[in-house]
Amino acid sequence: MSNNNNNSECKCSKCSSNSMGFVLVSTQTLRRHAQQDIVRQYQSGSSSSVIEVMSNDNDMEIDFEDNVDAEDQVEAEDLPLFGIDSLFDSESEDEGVIEATILDISDDESDDVREHFSSSNMPVDPTHAFIASFAAFFISKYVVNSGGAVLLKFLNEVLAHFGQSFRLPLSMSGVNSMTGLSDVTRGVQRFVACGDCNKVYEESDVVPECCNFERLSELHDLVYFNLVECTVIDPMHNLYLGTAKRIMEKWRSSGLITDAHLAEMQLDADKLVLPEDYTPLGTKIGRGFPFMKADEWKSWCLVYSPVLLRDRLPEAHLGNWTTFVNACQYLSMPSIFMAHLDEAHQSLEAFCRECKKLYKAPFLSPNMHLHLHLRETVLNFGPVYGYWLFSFERCNGILKNYATNRKDGFEGTYMKKYLEEAYQGDLIRQTLPIIRPEHSAIILELTASTANSITTSTSTANSITTSTSTATSIQFDINAFLDSPEINFDIVKGNEPLPPSALPLALKGEISMDESEYEHLLEYYRETYDDQTLVHYRQAGHSDNFVNNRIQKFESINLLGQIYKSKTKNQRGSFMQALFETSDGRSTKPYAGQIQYLFVNTAVNSFAGHASQHVFAYVQWYKEVLLQPRAGEGVEVNEVGFEDDSMNSILPVHRICYPVAVGEHLGLEGEVQMCVVPLPRKIYI
């Protein structure tokens, strides 16, 4: 029986206990209560077993987790009253109720995450523990639905073939319980939320027809809470998905940027080499910017547009756009100086004023008005990396890739998968000491992303003690390091302390430096330490004051979040700028170059004092062009070829100033030159 409000009479074991013998609930709640009654019936029949109902596209499994033989497990299709289509139909007739899943962990469970894994039934035998761990991680990452059960049966057949008495459980939940992977999701509970007032109810509770929940938030009771001041403007949507996208649509609709322009820009874009942490656009420019994500609009603004829009967009529009790009470069940094924040605010204000002249008042939107409040947002809440939604969107991308059976209960699936991945590193740390060393590499390869985070965290914590560097063993001074590229670049030697996570966990073995490049290293040391008595390593028998020719190369270095790399096939991350004095000695200017390789050289005697290890980049510098036709656009022009190698090719990594993107530029006479787009270096403090 149903009433006029699409509610039905629920006569489950809980709802039938009142005087009427039923409670009016939504159709969705009715199905849920019926499901719970079925589960309770089988739970009451087995006092020593824990029954878990797991759904997939093809079947349901009832998993007995407490020492129940595989033959005793009950398949879902054999259970009475199990109408899978009706129980797990995703269509809800009550749109006023929204399902939600939250994590409810008791105090003693949250004290120490590692305690989650202490009760696992991991096999004592290292090989069996490896097989169980591999199966759990592999199924968690790659297998969906009934494929996991098939894999487990296959592994058991292999074990039987080789005469092993050990067997894996025949269900995914059983394997997760054995390895401890299911322990991290033990506190997941399902709740329902009212669609009108958002009040949350436990799933077992009866949702009333009318809620008495106050709509006012508790935040309004806080004395210091100001609704206007405490509203954060998200720069990701405000700048990139907002204005950058809107103005490109305006250019396209008004004919300022045509299809022919897009085709030409795509050809030039294919020749651009971006720094490592900027997203390439591929062929999207030529196709009219379809399905652009926020990080792609960011790359377009900061890297592509300064190079590609010249000679295609009218000067007035290009100049105004350059003003917007200048503001975005400052605001998109992990840390920002007050002077740069003020400059960004002034640039955005000038940009909005000019937009009113160029595109008339109807083009201006409330989103553009919010540009003028970004300065207040940064002053109140700090640099944009603390609250812009790139990380939130990235998390959505992770959740979107989780495989579900597209039926009811996907919120619980998301929560469980998220927790499994979040705490997988802890489980791996618990597992590696149990299994054999030769099997550890396979587990780490299978869980590559987690293994990388383990390696990174270990590197960060232990790089000072693991590395042979005496440069990192001295206390790191962040202020001195930040001053090295621009203020103290002329006194930096290369043996100053680096950030603890700068170098890789382990350096490669020593090799002999190329003879011609070693000559530049020898000259560098003589000049830097003002010691002309330093001799060639081949003359070491005649003098103890010689320069070692043995070096250790490494692929990349992390300088407070900004990553630079040795030259590779795709060349990304190898282009940079550093400051040098001009030839007349009156000023300094940035020069663009490409890192050929990064290396460590250790002084074998005392000419460098106690800090004997030096960290360098071997750089080839591009030839400069005196006439800079694009200086006002944030783009520099260089010759394509390199200067001859010299002592300046030996560059302490402390002096690397900016990452750059490089592309092609046609000179006045049609000659091919190289354009350089300097980008702000990231500084994570």
Report the pLDDT value the prediction gives residue 214, as an integer from 0 to 100: 60
Q: Decide if pLDDT at 538 tops 70.
A: yes
Alpha helices in 222-373 (DSSP H): 235, 245-253, 259-269, 294-299, 305-308, 315-331, 338-359, 366-369
Domain extent for 492: 478-678
Do 282 and 176 fall within a single domain? Answer: no
Q: What is the mean pLDDT of residues 236-248?
A: 94
Residue 448 maps to a domain:
yes
Name the average pLDDT for the chain.
77
Among the ranges given (330-334, 466-470, 585-589), the one the predictor scored with the smallest mean pLDDT: 466-470
> Tokens standing for 197?
């007032």
Q: What is the mean pLDDT of residues 385-406?
A: 80
Report the pLDDT value the prediction gives residue 269, as an integer from 0 to 100: 92
Do 386 and 416 fall within a single domain? Answer: no
Do 544 and 662 fall within a single domain? Answer: yes
Q: Decide if pLDDT at 466 tops 50.
A: no
Do 218 and 173 fall within a single domain? Answer: yes
Q: What is the DSSP string of 279-300?
A: ---TTTTTTTSTT--HHHHHHI
More confident residue, 214 or 391: 391
Do 428 and 556 fall within a single domain? Answer: no
Do 337 and 386 fall within a single domain? Answer: yes
Q: Which of 605, 606, 639 is nearest to 621 (CA)?
A: 639
Residue 402 maps to a domain:
no
Q: Which of 391, 422, 445 is the last residue of a domain?
A: 391
Whether residue 246 contacts residue 352, with contact meaning beta carbons closer than 8 Å, is answered with no
Q: CB 21: neighbour CB atoms within 10 A?
A: 10
Q: Decide if pLDDT at 424 tops 90.
A: no
Do 159 and 218 fall within a single domain? Answer: yes
Do 126 and 144 fall within a single domain? Answer: yes
Residue 515 maps to a domain:
yes
pLDDT digits (tens, 9 = 90+) for 250-268: 999 999 999 999 999 999 9
Do 483 and 416 fall within a single domain? Answer: no
User: Is 186 in a helix, a strand, or coil?
Assistant: coil
Do 281 and 200 fall within a single domain? Answer: no
> Which pLDDT band holds residue 680 (cuts at 50, 70, 90)?
confident
Report the pLDDT value the prediction gives residue 319, as an integer from 0 to 100: 93
Report the pLDDT value the prediction gives residue 80, as an integer from 0 to 100: 33
Chain centroid to Cα 107, Å, comes to 30
Residue 614 maps to a domain:
yes
Residue 471 maps to a domain:
no
Residue 470 maps to a domain:
no
Do 159 and 278 fall within a single domain? Answer: no
Q: CB 656: neighbour CB atoms within 10 A?
A: 24
pLDDT digits (tens, 9 = 90+) for 102-136: 444 344 434 444 444 444 578 888 888 888 888 88
More confident residue, 636 or 683: 636
> Which pLDDT band holds residue 605 (cuts at 50, 70, 90)?
low
Report the pLDDT value the prediction gives residue 467, as an integer from 0 to 100: 40
Among the ranges given (209-218, 252-261, 557-566), the one the predictor scored with the smallest mean pLDDT: 209-218
Rounded Cα gap, residues 395 and 390, in angstroms = 9
pLDDT digits (tens, 9 = 90+) for 542-559: 667 888 899 999 999 999
Q: Decide if pLDDT at 595 tops 80.
A: yes
Residue 59 maps to a domain:
no
Do 126 and 19 fall within a single domain? Answer: no
Residue 140 burial class via C-beta count within 10 angstroms: exposed 0-12, middle 13-18, buried 19 and up: buried
Among 99-103, 193-197, 225-229, 551-555, name the most confident range: 551-555
Structural domain total, the chain: 4
Q: Decide if pLDDT at 79 tops 70.
A: no
pLDDT digits (tens, 9 = 90+) for 472-518: 446 888 888 888 888 888 889 988 999 888 888 778 889 999 999 99
Q: What is the mean pLDDT of residues 52-61?
A: 34
Q: What is the mean pLDDT of residues 291-312?
A: 92
Residue 96 maps to a domain:
no
Rounded Cα gap, residues 580 and 384, in angstroms = 31
Rounded Cα gap, residues 162 and 120, in angstroms = 26
In the block, residue with structure tokens 């063993």: 473
